[in-house]
Amino acid sequence: MPGDATLQIHNQSPTSDQPSPNGIGLFTDDGTYYWGNDRKALRQAIVKNRGDDAFKGLIAVALYAVKGDVGTARARMAAAGRAPSMKPDLMREMAEKLKKRAVLDEGHTSRPLSPEQKKQITDNHIWSNSIDALIAAPENPQVRAGVLRIMASMPRVEVTKTTTAGRPTLTVTDIWPAHGKFVETLVIDAATGRPVAFSGKAPNAPSRTIYYHTSRVTLADIKAGKF
């Protein structure tokens, strides 16, 4: 695997890797994350050593899950979280807002949560953090294996064979009845397991999809502006 980092651009095009308002992210192989709203800003973040370790804990849990106890891995992934300084993924942020709105629409906040609803909320944290681990280490097959093993522990997860922009993909879908039947979908490359797209849809709300475009690079090249 060439390079020592993964450059990631996410936008709303399945084929174009042009930067969007989400900016440009760089994940080094040790789990450090850099972000900039454009190429110049990303380079400056690296030059000034403004990296974030927010994803390292999630990656560690995914690696443990490859051969470790799934129940322990679930508990660790549920408890993990991103650092406050993390630049939010606008699509994922929107999905969380839609979930909260769905709960209000269903009136779930007017009565205590049932044990099943609490379990679904825990599964939601596990699902979201697992996706973040996969996005942070798209070139690491062990991280992918651990994430998929954790996701397999969720009863409502379904996997179907699909095609995205002409390439074979697998679509992983989960539904959250406790969140007003909110549906989230993760599309991964069928051959490599790399994330391709993510979407979220609440009842009576339009669905939006974000696409991930990744490439292998060296930290030295990005630091020198060679990208």
Highest mean pLDDT, choosing among 1-5, 15-19, 66-70 = 66-70
Average confidence (pLDDT) over 151-162: 92
pLDDT-based confidence at residue 29 (cuts at 50, 70, 90): very high
- Which residues, other chains included, contact 216 with Cβ-Cβ below 8 Å and sequence gap of 6+? 1, 2, 3, 5, 6, 7, 139
Confidence tier at 118 by pLDDT (50, 70, 90) = confident
List the domain boundaries for the chain: 5-223
pTM over 0.75: yes
pLDDT in tens, 40-66: 999 999 999 999 998 999 999 999 999
